[in-house]
Amino acid sequence: MNVRKLVTIVEEVLIEGGRTVQPAARVAMVAVVIDNPWTGQGFVEDLGPGVDATASDLGELLAPRVVAALGATPEAYGKAAIVGLNGEIEHGSGLIHTLKFGDHYRKAARATTLLPAVEKRAPAGIVFDIPLKHITDATIRSHHQSFEVRIPDAPHADEIVIALAAAAQGRPQQRLAAFSTEQ
């Protein structure tokens, strides 16, 4: 795995809807920009060897970093794979949609649910939203949110951006009824 750069963003919302948020709503995101492991190989029928060689290392690199950046116990989490224009969406999907990657994050976050994800092929500087859901119950509406990311110089055409995001709480000032009230 060839890493070009790591990017960390931490956001704290102090006021939402004109009211103070106490404590501040905190979200962290950590992304890594790597060479696409399948670059220059043409169409690769079996992505397994590349996934095996890369996915676990990515999870091991990113999971502790995003939890540390958050500075709190995650309550919501999500992931993203943005593939440069010379790659396939399946390249990013292969790296993030495997337990070899996701279990590192579930363990670090003490989570049990599937990680919500976004994946797409795009040029450098694309804006993407990482969807977030509650770490143990995806039906908890207060934690359905997203985090917007833009890395101005990534991904290059032969790169992939892999990112994790975590929130220490649900949406600031959330006040929707629980999902169970509509059943």
Average pLDDT, the chain: 96
Q: What is the pLDDT of residue 105?
A: 98
* pLDDT, average across residues 46-66: 98
Please, what are the domains in the chain?
A: 3-182 (3.30.1330.110)
What pLDDT does 181 receive? 73
| pLDDT of the residue at 83 | 98
Name the pTM for this structure. 0.95
pLDDT, tens digit (0-9, with 9 covering 90-100), for 124-166: 999 999 999 999 999 999 999 999 999 999 999 999 999 999 9
Q: Give residue-wise pLDDT tens across range 78-116.
A: 999 999 999 999 999 999 999 999 999 999 999 999 999
Query: Is the model's pLDDT at 183 over the cut of 90?
Result: no
Pick the more confident residue, 51 or 176: 51
Q: CA-CA distances (angstroms) from residue 169 to 49, 61, 133, 138?
A: 37, 23, 10, 14
Residue 160 three-state SS? strand
> What are the residues facing 160 on neighbouring strands?
34, 83
